[in-house]
Structure 1
Amino acid sequence: MPRILTYNVHRCLGTDGRLSPARIADVVAAYEPDVVALQELDVGRVRTGGVDQAHAIAQALGMHVHFHASMRVLEEQYGNAILTHRPTKLIKAEPLPGLAGKPGLEPRGALWASVNIGGVDVQIINTHLGLRRHERLAQVNALLGPHWLGHPSCREPAILLGDLNATPRSRAYQRLASHLWDAQALARPSKPRATFPSRLPMLRIDHVFVSRGIAVQRVEAVRTPLARVASDHLPLLVEFHIVRAKAHQASMGHAHG
């Protein structure tokens, strides 16, 4: 059964102060996911020893990698990636809107890859949203709009996942939940798991949202001893299967509600 995992790796800096892309790869490898969405990767940055963390982790896992830099300063990059060992192609990778009049906010972005799982092309969008409420809402609206989930190419089944910096009570979360299903709400038994901070998780801000055509079997916030120290977030793993859709696959904007 296919598995997808989202993980904010905090530039591979553990809660013990150690930098280790290899340790992040070990946390992921133990769960043998088909697709991995990573946030907060450093590529060629002095602060993390100039390592291309996206490629280092992908290589350790034997996966292809699509990386998108949300932020670039000269040769240094920082952003998100989708890794998979399945056939895949990158559809797009772009910045998301910030807030007018707040140019100092950290730039945010998303990337969308089509991944072939069991003969079905699954549209996967990985993102890391902003810290401010209005910023997140603008970013969610962009993701639900015609360039991303509402795009004609973004046919079901689709999965949007990542560190959304939004709890289930937030407007950004609720806006997404009116178009897609929160995998944690679909899992049985349904006891949603927090993912942040990793040592004593209190907040549910890392999410996997799914369209019709994705039947969620199991959700797990990975709480192994290694996961609790490798990053300040825990990974969130979703096991699912693809329901063969009828010929009338509608575009995502009309999933429901």
Structure 2
Amino acid sequence: MVLIASYNIRKAIAADRRRRPERIIEILGEIGADIVLLQEADRRFGDRQSALPPHMLAEHSIYRPVPYEMRPGSIGWHGNAVLIGPGVEILRHQPLHLPTLEPRGAVLADVKVDGQALRLVGMHLDLSGLWRRKQARAILSELDHQHDQLPLVMAGDLNEWRNSGCIRDFCQHHRIVPLGPSFHARQPVGKLDRMFVSNGIKVVESGVHNSLLARNASDHLPVWARIRIG
């Protein structure tokens, strides 16, 4: 089985408005996922370097980032990053360019875990419902045009409060993973963080990581799913 998590880390800015990347890394250790899809993993201003310094990841965690190499000092693309643990092999990866009025993007990574290939898509969609649907359709179109079809997990902060709009677009050919509210972390009421799987994947269990540390580290809680491929 494979444990996958998705987490909007809010640029590692904690509830006290201080940047605390070490706290995010500690929460990732609490979850113990094999693969983590991050949103808001880069700083917002300046050269937009990673909010989780690469040297800190290397020194204090088991994870290494999939190397998109789109911007020096960044670990992803428009804040979207994929972290993989020991035993996960990178097969290929690419950034996904999305239609948008503000900087948005998604990332794709094909990996091998437990001897099986798995396709991952991490995303952070727009605040506007109209642009969310355009972005969802762009992602789905990109997936349709891949040269091969692999078991797929898509996850991220969709900024969608209802089970409509872009949720319906993703659910046309994929199953939504049951997850609880993850926003706001202090008192979660919104299911903004979502996950979808394709055929060939069984969801064994899933949920929201609502630890004391997580409630104070970002405005989102991490979500997770334990899956079986094949």
Q: What's 1:122 paired with?
A: 118
Deviation sequence 1:129-169 (CA, Å, 0-9, x none): 00001100000010110x2x212335131111111111342
Q: What's 1:208 paired with?
A: 195
CA distance in 2, matches of 1:14, 1:56: 20
Paired amino acid for 2:91: K
Q: What's 1:188 paired with?
A: none
> Does the 8 Å CA contact 1:54/1:67 hold for their aligned counterparts?
no
Secondary structure at 1:79 match in 2: coil
The structural deviation recorded for 1:63 is 2.0
Residues 68 and 16 of structure 1: is their aligned pair in 2 closer, same or farther, counting only changes over 3 Å?
A: farther
The structural deviation recorded for 1:66 is 2.3
Q: Does 1:151 align with 2:153?
A: no
TM-score (norm 2): 0.88
Q: Does 1:179 align with 2:166?
A: no
CA distance in 2, matches of 1:107, 1:242: 33
Q: Does 1:8 align with 2:17?
A: no
Q: What's 1:236 paired with?
A: 223
- Which structure would you say has the larger Rg? 1
Q: Does 1:194 align with 2:181?
A: yes
The structural deviation recorded for 1:19 is 1.1
Aligned residues: 225
Unaligned runs of 5+ in 2: none
Indicate which of 203, 206, 211 corresponds to 1:219: 206
Secondary structure at 1:42 match in 2: coil
Secondary structure at 1:62 match in 2: coil
Deviation sequence 1:85-144 (CA, Å, 0-9, x none): 21113421132111xxxxxx3211011111111111100010100000110000001011
Q: What's 2:157 paired with?
A: 163
Displacement over 6 Å in runs of 4+: 74-77
The structural deviation recorded for 1:2 is 1.1
> Does the 8 Å CA contact 2:68/2:94 hold for their aligned counterparts?
no
CA distance in 1, matches of 2:53, 2:98: 20
Unaligned runs of 5+ in 1: 99-104, 185-191, 244-257
Query: RMSD in angstroms over aligned alpha carbons?
Result: 2.5
Q: Describe how 1:13-52 pairs up with structure 2 within 5 A.
A: 13-42=13-42
